[in-house]
Structure 1
Amino acid sequence: MTPTDRPRPTPTARRADAERSINAILDAAAVGFGRSPDTTMAEIARAAGVGRVTLYGHFNSREAVLDALLERTLAEIDSALDAADPETGPAADALVRFLATPWLLDRFRGLYAAAVRHLGPDHVRSRHEPVFHRLEQLISRGQHEGSFRTDLPRPWLITTIYALVHALISEVEEGNLPSGQAVDVLTRTLLGLLAPYPGQERSDAG
């Protein structure tokens, strides 16, 4: 059989190969950015076991890799929120279940710092909008139940939670907080932040 007689890969097989390459690249990038926010394209290609042509065929820059990795990570977070079943039971319990999922430190280690450096804080924050929407719904439910405070606007509470989550990640990465304590520290901090003030009545806060 001559080379021209050999069966060519089907479109499905080519898509599967491309998906494997993309996943390998993103997995390698996650490890690389976990070590250094300035991980290079050459380092990512080497760790992923792909050539530069393959790497640049999928991503034309380090920024493109970072953005795709951030998008994938936030999709995993959204799935974790689904798994936490936030519509079931008291809102405070749902928040605890969400924070207890293993996504936080494992998924964002190094990624947030690298994304802010190379993509900019505004872009990184905009990528979080689907998660913010889910969090806004959970806070709203807790406010209606009377378990979350209503004296502060929900957008401000979400902004504060966003800042606290990433501050916690930085503290762990810098060695100021043991990783084994991180989830408990964050949970107690956020429950304290959201706790209703004395005399609060149930309200449709906005």
Structure 2
Amino acid sequence: MRGAGMTAESAGASSQDRAKRADAVRNIESIVAAATRLLAVDPDASINDIAKAANVGRVTLYGHFDSRATLIREVVDRAIAQTEEALADLDLDGDPREALGRLLEATWHLTHRFGAVVVAASQALPPDQIRRAHDEPVLRVRALLERGRDAGEFRRDMPIDWQISVIQAIVHGASAAVHRGEISADEAPVLVRDTSLAALAA
């Protein structure tokens, strides 16, 4: 009987542990989702704002993320992973101009989705972590630019790194223009694509 009693107690403790872990996972997901949503609109969103939006207390939030920078790093890491997942499925075969156009439109949608998270990250994280967020997307753009140059589609009279910087400036500029109300979110993808391709045309 004693053994059975110990087993029941152990089972009860195990059940409680599982419930605590499940609660912790739910809280973490709520915090990260709230942080992503708020920081996408306001890069200066505070810990208090994020905790309130996640329906948790500051103590709970700090129990999972010891600083605002740690939380932003988690938001950025997830944004990178989601961006990679979305872009990995994109068809980049065929004509390099058309392929780059598809990549630019997809990149715009992702940039707009995460909005000012990039600004929040640049304020809170070291430069090497910010560069990492752009590493994989830049590799895709570079590969298409090289293909387009070889095919005579894109101009070769300027550094390829400069062309990449111009594309990034156009994408982020469009995001800022949407937030200022100068263009609509529906207009932006085509404007980003056409403006970039015009700047690159041989």
AA partner of residue 34 (structure 1): A
Q: What aligned pairs does 1:182-193 form with structure 2 within 5 A after superposition?
A: 182-193=188-199
Q: 1:53 to 1:165 in 2, by over 3 A?
A: same
Question: Match of 1:204?
Answer: none
Output one character per residue of 1:147-191: Cα deviation in whole Å (capped at 9) or x when no partner.
222222221111221222111111111122222211111011111
- Secondary structure at the aligned position of 2:187 is classed as helix
CA apart distance, 1:46? 2.1
Distance 1:164 1:120 in 2: 24
Q: Which residue of 2 aligns with 1:57?
A: 63
Structure 1 residues without counterparts, runs of 5 or longer? 197-206
Determine the structure 1 residue equivalent to 2:103: 98
Report what 1:66 is aligned to.
72
Q: Is the 8 A contact 1:28 1:47 kept in 2?
A: yes
Out of 141, 154, 157, the residue aligned to residue 147 of structure 2 is: 141
Q: Quick check: 1:37–1:111 contact (8 Å CA) kept in 2?
A: yes
The alignment of Structure 1 onto Structure 2 pairs a total of residues equal to: 194
The 3 A distance-change label for structure 1 pair 8 and 24 is: same
1:178 aligns with 2:184: yes
Are the aligned partners of 1:112 and 1:166 in contact in 2 as well (CA < 8 Å)?
Answer: no
2:167 corresponds to: 161
- Which structure is higher in helix share? 2
Shift of 1:54: 3.4
Question: 1:112 is matched with which residue?
Answer: 118
Q: Tell me by how many angstroms 1:71 deviates.
A: 2.1
Instruction: Confirm or deny that 1:30 pairs with 2:36.
Output: yes
**Which of 121, 130, 133 is 1:127 aligned to?**
133
Letter in 2 for 1:143: R
Q: Identity over the aligned pairs, expressed in percent?
A: 35
Aligned CA distance change for structure 1 residues 175 and 125 (closer, same or farther; 3 Å)? farther
TM normalised by structure 1 equals: 0.80
TM-score scaled by structure 2?
0.81
Counterpart selection for 1:151 from 148, 157, 166: 157
Residues 1-40 of structure 1 mapped to structure 2, 5 A cutoff: 6-9=12-15, 18-40=24-46
Provide, for residues 59-90 of structure 1, a one-character-per-residue CA deviation record: whole Å limited to 9, x for no partner: 2211222222122212222222222122x111
CA distance in 1, matches of 2:125, 2:195: 29
Could you tell me which amino acid in structure 2 is paired with residue 160 of structure 1? V
Relative to structure 2, which stretch is displaced further, 186-195 or 143-152? 143-152
Q: Quick one: structure 1 residues 9 and 91, their matched pair in 2 at CA, closer, same or farther if it must change by over 3 Å?
A: farther
Question: Hey, what's the Cα distance between the residues in 2 that align with 1:14 and 1:89?
Answer: 51
Where in structure 2 are there 5+ consecutive unaligned residues?
none
Quick check: 72-81 or 187-196, which moved more?
72-81
Cα distance 1:10–1:180, how it changes in 2: closer, same or farther (>3 A)?
Answer: same
